Amino acid sequence: MTPGYGLRKGSSNAGQYGFENDTDWERLAGLTGFSTHAVFVGRYGIPASRMFGDNVAPSQEIYGAGGNVAVHFVYAYGEETLWHGRFDVAAGRIPFLNDFSSNPLYCNFMNNAFCGNPKASSDNTAHSSYPDSVWAVRFRVRPSVSTYFQTGVYFSQEGIYGVQQYRTGFKLNGADINGEAIPIEFGWEPIFDHGTLPGHYKLGYARDTVDHQDVYFDGNENPWALTGLPRRRDHGANAAWALVDQMLYHFKGGAKDAGITFLGGFYYNDEKISMRSQQYEGGFLGRGFWAARPKDGIGINFSYIRESALAAKTQELQLLQGVLPGNLLNGAYGPQSYGMNLEVNYQIHVYRGMTFAPDFQYYFNPGGQRTLRDTAMLGFKTHIELF
């Protein structure tokens, strides 16, 4: 543990309970292709990584939603699918990152650098992330069985992730809408080796119209005192991503997911408005390799996150002005440059709908801060579905 900053060793627990409802209205009422989806959760706890100074890749993804809260509204939307799945439209309260730069395989891991989406994807507050949603409409077209194109309009709301606006998620009016985010994503979903090796390849880009705080000119409460330059807002921002998962080997006689799958990704943000300017990640998932326990799995993933060089300049200026470590921009203890995370886990299938996963994580430059010592963590993740 790094001495002198008030950091400490310890443990923590973070968790979530939830209720999800998916209704097929074609079966219930004869409305061809129409369905509705809704999720409510409760969350508690705090990630242990904050104890040793990391604020970039939280050790436990399941936390937040405006703090500890008993009931939090996540999303509710209607979806219409037409022409044998070739066209799909959804509208309602939807998180931007539910559909874009996402992959259900990512939450085989616990660290927030991986689970949900690459963590850099939620740096831009115009890109709403589970468990917070915004008013949106999303369109998806499949020119062929293995290809798709999707886009949409997501109405960004000021104060997202904050306790005043989003603690319960039930503030549904549009009074705080401050712009729109428009993403596009192309996907290719081939199945190689006679239908045994599925893959998913995604390439995406997003542009928004939000006035963002500049991490250098507006990097803290009194930017003029640091830079001597006028306060400035950046209108709109860019983001881009490339993601892949590909099964490399299928265990003969096993289920469809029995095999070794490679995961890889890259995410880019405008460094003027984001703390995480780039993220690279790669890893492997294995399932069905043990005949006696075909539903067990093992995973290893590695992430490299590059911090904004402009944010680091602000933090250096803050130190020169006498701002204390821990109070710098982004709560940092020193200028942030880059950090790396390694996670390894083993998923034990206990019973139908129940898994237990011992988990090891290692932080190189926690929070992208070379002033902090590398740190190891040991924990576990449980998942229970009642029905």
Q: For 139-166, how does the pLDDT look when each residue is reduced to its tens digit (9 = 90+)? A: 999 999 999 999 999 999 988 877 777 7
As a whole-number percent, the residues of the chain with pLDDT over 70 amount to 95
Residue 224 has pLDDT above 50, yes or no: no
Rounded mean pLDDT of 213-218?
Answer: 78
> Does 157 map to a domain?
yes
Task: Count the alpha carbons within 13 Å of 98 in the hemisphere toward its beta carbon.
Answer: 24
Residue 177 has pLDDT above 50, yes or no: yes
Which residues lie below 8 Å from residue 358, measured CB to CB, with a gap of 6+?
345, 346, 348, 378, 379, 380
Question: Using alpha carbons only, what angle is made at residue 188 by residues 187 and 189, rounded to the nearest 5 degrees?
Answer: 120
Q: Please tell me the total count of domains within the chain.
A: 1
Mean pLDDT score across all residues of the chain: 90
Return the H-helix or E-strand segment holding 97.
Answer: helix 96-99
Q: What is d(CA 125, CA 168) in angstroms, rounded to the nearest whole number?
A: 18
- For 300-331, b/e burial (b = at least 16 CB within 10 A) is bbbbbbbbbebbbbbbebbeeeebebeebbbe
Q: For 53-102, how does the pLDDT look when each residue is reduced to its tens digit (9 = 90+)? A: 998 999 998 876 666 888 899 999 999 999 999 999 999 999 999 999 99
Residue 135 pLDDT class (50, 70, 90 cuts):
very high
Q: What is the pLDDT of residue 379?
A: 94
Q: DSSP for 270-315?
A: -TTT-SEEEEEEEEEEEES-STTSTT-EEEEEEEEEEEPHHHHHHH
Residue 225 has pLDDT above 50, yes or no: no
Residue 223 has pLDDT above 70, yes or no: no
Residue 221 has pLDDT above 60, yes or no: no
> Does 340 map to a domain?
yes
- Which of 52-56, 188-192, 216-220, 331-335 is the least confident region? 216-220
Q: What is d(CA 258, CA 252) in angstroms, rounded to the nearest whole number?
A: 8
> Does 317 map to a domain?
yes
As a whole-number percent, the residues of the chain with pLDDT over 90 amount to 66
Rounded mean pLDDT of 118-123?
Answer: 92
Q: Two tokens at 363?
A: 């932080």
Residue 219 has pLDDT above 60, yes or no: no
Q: What is d(CA 30, CA 65) in angstroms, rounded to the nearest whole number?
A: 36
> Does 155 map to a domain?
yes
Q: What is the pLDDT of residue 166?
A: 78
Which residues lie below 8 Å from residue 83, measured CB to CB, with a gap of 6+?
none
Per-residue CA distances from 121 to 84, 128, 175, 216, 271 (Å): 31, 9, 25, 20, 13
> Does 315 map to a domain?
yes
- Of 43, 26, 47, whose CA–CA distance to 35 is shortest? 26
Q: Residue 275: phi, psi to the nearest 5? A: -75, -40
As beta bridge partners, residue 42 has 17
CATH of the domain at 355: 2.40.160.180
> Does 7 map to a domain?
no
Q: What is the pLDDT of residue 227?
A: 52
Q: What is the pLDDT of residue 357?
A: 97
Question: Using alpha carbons only, what angle is made at residue 381 by residues 379 and 385, rounded to the nearest 5 degrees?
Answer: 165
Task: Count the alpha carbons within 13 Å of 343 in the hemisphere toward its beta carbon.
Answer: 35
Residue 180 has pLDDT above 70, yes or no: yes
Taking the alpha carbons of 150, 156, 159, 163 in that order, is the dihedral positive or negative?
A: negative
Q: What is the pLDDT of residue 248?
A: 97
Task: Count the alpha carbons within 13 Å of 178 in the hemisphere toward its beta carbon.
Answer: 15
> Does 5 map to a domain?
no
> Does 159 map to a domain?
yes
Q: For 7-64, how does the pLDDT look when each residue is reduced to its tens digit (9 = 90+)? A: 888 888 889 999 999 999 999 999 999 999 999 999 888 889 988 999 899 999 887 6
Q: Is 140 exposed, middle or buried (0-12, 13-18, 19+ CB in 10 A)?
A: buried
Question: Can you give the residue range of the structural domain that contains 128?
Answer: 14-384
Rounded mean pLDDT of 326-347?
Answer: 94
Q: What is the pLDDT of residue 151?
A: 98
